[in-house]
């Protein structure tokens, strides 16, 4: 395949296309990128749709990288609800059950697969363990749909995402705030500059039984250091996350 065949082509969003325009992509077996986020409190300085904004930005960057490698990909509308029990009690947060999420993902994936899209890639940016687990379970039982779940908590990717991420402080801190500064800076509120560092040993607290941001001591629904976030770091992180998605697709053994 000519590696430059799709390079430079416009980003294709399924929701903004007519069905007849999209049919050609489906028949050609295009990759379906399905961004997955949440509607969840992200500190006083980020919007509730932070995970959706980041997942969409990663999907767009991944689509460009796939095009450069000669693979066509289409971005489908994001799933904006997830399992967000840690943020329960913070206004605006909406949590669905693991079973609901799993069933929804299986149905969406099978519907896309029926039309010819393959693989279906869950571009997830909501990190709650129960949420990620539900996505992995959905992928495992979505046959005949082929579903991939890039997981940036795993090596080697986690190691490239910075110290705060590796220590588990990746909720609305320097890591996520940097990503939003790169993806959609208007969604980062100025209040972030005055927020004190909240250095919490997440792993230890969870082992001790904490099951919510309040129990972790994160009274305003953020961890880490939002004030030190930069757009430059966000751009670097976006590229790492998009490379992870792209490499998983390109190394997938085809049927
Ligand atoms: Zn988040």
Q: Where are the beta strands (DSSP E) in 88-215?
A: 120-124, 147-148
**C-alpha gyration radius of the chain:** 18
Q: How many CB atoms lie within 10 A of CB 71?
A: 19
Would you call 124 helix, strand, or coil by DSSP?
strand
Distance from the alpha carbon of residue 187 to the mean position of ligand 1, in angstroms: 13
* Best CA proximity match to 171, nearest among 195, 148, 190, 194: 195
Q: How far is the CA of 109 from the centre of ligand 1 (A)?
A: 23
Calculate how far, in angstroms, residue 54's C-alpha sits from the geometric centre of ligand 1.
Answer: 8
Average of per-residue pLDDT across 107-135: 96
Report the pLDDT value the prediction gives residue 1, as an integer from 0 to 100: 47
Cα dihedral 159, 70, 60, 176 in deg (nearest 10): 0
Q: What is the mean pLDDT of residues 238-253?
A: 94
| Residues within 5 A (CB) of ion ligand 1 | 51
Residue 111 φ/ψ region, left for φ over 0, alpha for ψ in the -120 to 50 degree band, beta for the rest: alpha
pTM of the model: 0.94
Tell me the fold of 14-250: Rossmann fold (3.40.50)
What's the average model confidence in pLDDT over 40-45? 97
**Is 239:61 a contact under the CB 8 Å cutoff?**
yes
Helix or strand or coil: residue 4?
coil
For ligand 1, the distance from its centroid to the CA atom of residue 171, given in whole angstroms, is 5
Domain residue ranges in the chain: 14-250
pLDDT given for residue 207 in this prediction: 83
Closest CA to 172 of 80, 46, 40, 35: 46
Find the mean pLDDT for residues 51-60.
97
Is the CB of residue 224 less than 8 Å from the CB of residue 173? yes
């Amino acid at each position: 395949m000519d590696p430059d065949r799709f390079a430079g082509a416009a980003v294709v969003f399924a929701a903004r296309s007519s069905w007849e325009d999209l049919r050609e992509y489906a028949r050609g077996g295009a990759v379906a990128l399905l961004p997955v986020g949440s509607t969840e409190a992200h500190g006083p300085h980020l919007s509730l749709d932070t995970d959706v904004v980041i997942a969409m930005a990663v999907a767009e960057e991944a689509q460009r990288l796939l095009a450069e490698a000669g693979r066509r990909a289409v971005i489908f509308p994001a799933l904006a609800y997830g399992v967000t029990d840690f943020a329960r009690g913070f206004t605006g947060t909406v949590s669905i059950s693991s079973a609901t999420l799993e069933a929804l993902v299986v149905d969406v994936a099978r519907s896309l697969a029926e039309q010819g899209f393959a693989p279906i890639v869950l571009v997830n940016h909501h990190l709650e363990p129960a949420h990620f687990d539900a996505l992995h379970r959905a992928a495992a039982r979505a046959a005949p749909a082929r579903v991939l779940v890039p997981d940036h908590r795993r090596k080697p990717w986690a190691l490239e995402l910075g110290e705060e991420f590796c220590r588990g402080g990746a909720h609305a801190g320097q890591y996520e705030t940097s990503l939003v500064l790169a993806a959609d800076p208007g969604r980062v509120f100025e209040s972030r500059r005055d927020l004190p560092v909240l250095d919490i040993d997440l792993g230890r607290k969870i082992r001790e039984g904490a099951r919510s941001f309040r129990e972790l001591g994160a009274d305003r629904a953020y961890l880490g250091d939002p004030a030190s976030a930069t757009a430059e770091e966000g751009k670097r992180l976006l590229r790492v996350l998009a490379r992870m998605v792209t490499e998983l697709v390109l190394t997938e053994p085809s049927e």
